Chain A
Amino acid sequence: MKKILRKKSFLQWVKRLESYKIYAPMKDDDFWNFALINNPKDLNLNHSNTVLSPKKIIFPQREVILEFSTSNDSELEVKEILPEEKASIIFGVRPCDARAIPLMDKVFGGDFTDPYYWKRRDKTILVGLSCNTPPSSNCFCLSVEGSPHSKEGLDILMTDLGDKYYVESLTKKGDQLINLAKNLFEEPNAKDNKDLENIHKDSEKKIKRQIQDIKNIPAKLKEMFESPFWDEESLSCLRCGICTYLCPTCHCFDINDEIISSSPLKGKRVRTWDNCQFPDFTMHSSGHNPRSDRASRLRQRILHKFQYFIEQYQNYQCTGCGRCISKCPVGIDIIEVLNKVENYGT
């Protein structure tokens, strides 16, 4: 379904969606981040890249998965906690962040479906916004099979045409949102379609950064597991978790029991994001750590994204949002690392 929405009608549309929880980028002093919108008036789609991607809404950094306790007769009681979410809409999703969600679907779907993830995922509607100008100087979606107007993962893609939005619904969920306020939308005319095409074409030209030749990289990485390259590239790595916590595709998690009282026993089993850059990541209970230094941790991050994920799911596990590049405190640049991989040893 392809429609036109006047910008002055946008607020009215959002008001009609009041039965949903609405998330959108909000400005916090100097940066943007996704937050729950209480007043539709706060909704503003002029955002640059948000610090965290909307993955945090579907796959929160912390969630309780079960509660346990022993009663007086020391019977152990366990209660599963499944998220009970109201249907929600996320506005202003950048195409790179949207493409990350089908990648997470693969991880949390497949042979074993993760109920905690899917409870939220099934109830979330993603309304994207194409990037007429790249929201970050380190955007490189074009290099990883994406684009600034990619529709993958979205229910609706909006494109700013000046005083109106071009609104393309891509799924049934998307149609529903438009149908809730049918009278606000118009049919696009030939000029609108032409404008859309031009804007989308132009937006591609504005992406400045690129990986030289990504096709060879998975095979190349496979040969470089033992290479001293990783020592060199990780010299300045601080081992903080910025790159992976901010990444829209990173999905590793940890599970811990948080004890509230030890006698009588009472506590919660909690799932939190984990991070391959941390010293206790995948540490064995024997004390052995398979990734004990920063070189092997950087290697893990790169190989997971550009070799293992391709082998397992035929996709790169990076959508080119550029967050890990822009926010790295020491300027480790995944594009540079990959370009060096491409040229390594030749």
Chain B
Amino acid sequence: MVNLEELKENAKELLKQEKVKYIIGYKRGTNGLMPVPAFIKKPEDVENLIWDPLCIYNLTRFLVDEKRKKAKQKNPDERPVGLIVKGCDSRAVNVLLQEKFINREDIYIIGISCENTGVVDEKKLVKKLKGKKVKKIEFGKKNGFIVSTEDGQVEVPSSEILAERCQECIAHFPVVYDVLLGEKPKRKPDNPFKSLEKMESLSREERWTFWKEQLDKCIRCYACRSTCPMCYCDECVVDTINFAVTADTTAEEKAQKIKWVEKSPVLSENFVYHFIRAIHLAGRCIDCGECERVCPLDIPLRFLNKKLEKEAKELFGYDVGFDPDRPSLVSCFKEEDPEDFIR
């Protein structure tokens, strides 16, 4: 079992010995049930750190901010940033390393094993408790969670409230770390692409109807993109900043800048946005499920990315985020790559 005290001790030492600039972890929030990201700078503040089954966020995204901030500083602090990662999160780190977006020496990775469980889906938990307020939630001894409410404790089997992505998780433990807390589990998922089965059994027309309905709801708040560690482009195609303007740029040139996607949240533009994003995540998405979790309209974005993950696996035998030294899927070509789908 991961021991929170051990986590705090580790974090405190790192800060005391000034080995890291700061540590990104989880702390209690003020807005409700869910923990919030914590940026811990002082050894005494490690007391705020928590680890419980609601620590669902993938904190890797903040490495993108750190890199941007550092690039602007004149005399940057060269020490690494401490980062707490679960298995899925660690694979996101690997992708960023593989793409040379970050350097290994710029991060100190505190890995946490999910052991035999995973993290809890907030919506499922709220539904399960039917309005009762959660006071505390812990990992159970076996495969479940212990939830304390005002009416006492209940043990909830993980199958009922586990996040969907954890049910299909292929590695419940960090694959890259400097220190690891908890044990490596033996459990293998039954079928990592189970959630796709229903979608795949639908006809093309049915799928079209489904996605039309779903993407019609999108308000283009871009929370899905903003929380994704892989969506790190300096200029995203959907923003209208992708045009360098100087004092000499004429009005005509400005008027002729290419807009790939209109700002209007209408079906055609929403499709373009989501398809561009999905294609750009093929072989890069590690299925942390963050995009789907943050969507205020509950659009099931995981299906899109999961499908591409499956294609990468089946067509190219490619597993995402396990080996930072392997060339990335979209930037390499092999003689034996299948090509029968190219028409």
Interface residues of A (CB under 8 A from B): 28-31, 33, 51-52, 61-62, 137-138, 235-236, 238-242, 245-246, 254, 256, 258, 270, 272, 275, 278-280, 283, 285-287, 289, 294, 325-331, 333, 335-336
Contacts and interface: CB of A to CB of B under 8 A. Distances in A.
A108 to B, nearest CB: 20
Greatest chain A CB density within 10 A among B222, B296, B298 is at: B296
A138 B296 contact: no
B31 A325 contact: yes
A330 B30 CA distance: 11
B222 A240 contact: yes
Interface stretch (B6-14, B34-42, B317-325): B34-42
Interface stretch (B84-92, B177-185, B243-251): B243-251
Interface in B214-244: 217, 219-223, 225-227, 239-241, 244
Nearest to B265: A61
Contact of A270 (B35, B61, B264): B264
B31 A331 contact: yes
Interface residues on B, range: 35 or more
Contact of B296 (A258, A280, A327): A327
Contacts of A325: 31
B264 A258 contact: yes
A278 B31 contact: no
Q: Which DSSP category, helix, strand, loop or mixed, fits chain B's interface? A: loop
A242 B29 contact: no
Contacts, number: 113
Interface in B12-51: 29-32, 34-37, 39
Contacts of B221: 240-242, 245-246, 275
Nearest to A329: B294
A241 B223 contact: yes
B245 A286 contact: yes
Nearest to A294: B65
A61 B222 contact: no
Contact of A287 (B35, B245, B264, B296): B245
B297 A51 contact: yes
A236 B262 CA distance: 28
Contact of B226 (A62, A137, A239, A333): A239
Contacts of B123: 30
A280 B241 contact: yes
Greatest chain A CB density within 10 A among B65, B226, B241, B263 is at: B263
B223 A242 contact: yes
Contacts of A241: 219-223
Given A242-B296, A280-B239, A326 B31 contact: yes
A238 B227 contact: yes
19 contacts: A61-B265, A235-B39, A236-B36, A240-B221, A241-B221, A241-B223, A254-B263, A256-B263, A270-B263, A285-B254, A289-B241, A326-B32, A329-B57, A330-B37, A331-B30, A331-B31, A331-B36, A333-B30, A336-B30
